[in-house]
Amino acid sequence: MSLIAIEASITLNDAAVRDAAVAESAKYQKATRDEEPGCLVYCFAADPCVPDHIQVYELWADEESLAAHFDHPNYHNMREMLGRYGLKSAVSRKLRIDKTAPVYGPDFKASARFD
C-alpha cells in the first residue's frame, strides 16, 4: 500500500480576499482531519511570498481514503466555498509514495537517501 500526497496551487482573482478564504477554509480543514478516516494531513495555507496564492498539501493513507474524500461533503463544501472567493486558477496533482524515511539521522544530519 502506498501513501497518496496531493499538492495544489490556488490563485485567486483578488489578493485582498486570500486571507479570508484561508480563514474560512479552516472549518473544512479541521472537519476533514477529524471526520475522514485515512486523512493524515489536510492543509490549505497562505503562500507568504505570493499575495493571491494558496498552497495545498494533503496526505492520505491510501487510494480508498482519497476516493472516499472526493465523495464526502467536506470536499464539496471546500470547493464551493473557495469558488465564492473567485478562482483565477487551480492546479493540483496527486503523487503515490512508495517509500518513506526520516530526513534526519541519529547524527542530526539531513539526508536525501532512502536507505
What does the block give as the cell for 99? 517509500
pTM value surpassing 0.95: no
The pLDDT value recorded for residue 55 is 98
Query: Phi then psi for 37, rounded to 5 degrees?
Result: -60, 140
All structural domains of the chain with their residue ranges: 3-97
Confidence check: pLDDT of 1 > 80: no
SS3 15: helix
Q: What is the pLDDT of residues 13-70, one digit of tens each?
A: 999 999 999 999 999 999 999 999 999 999 999 999 999 999 999 999 999 999 999 9
**CATH code, 3-97:** 3.30.70.100
Query: Phi then psi for 40, rounded to 5 degrees?
Result: -100, -35
What are residue 95's DSSP bridge partners? 5
Confidence check: pLDDT of 115 > 90: no
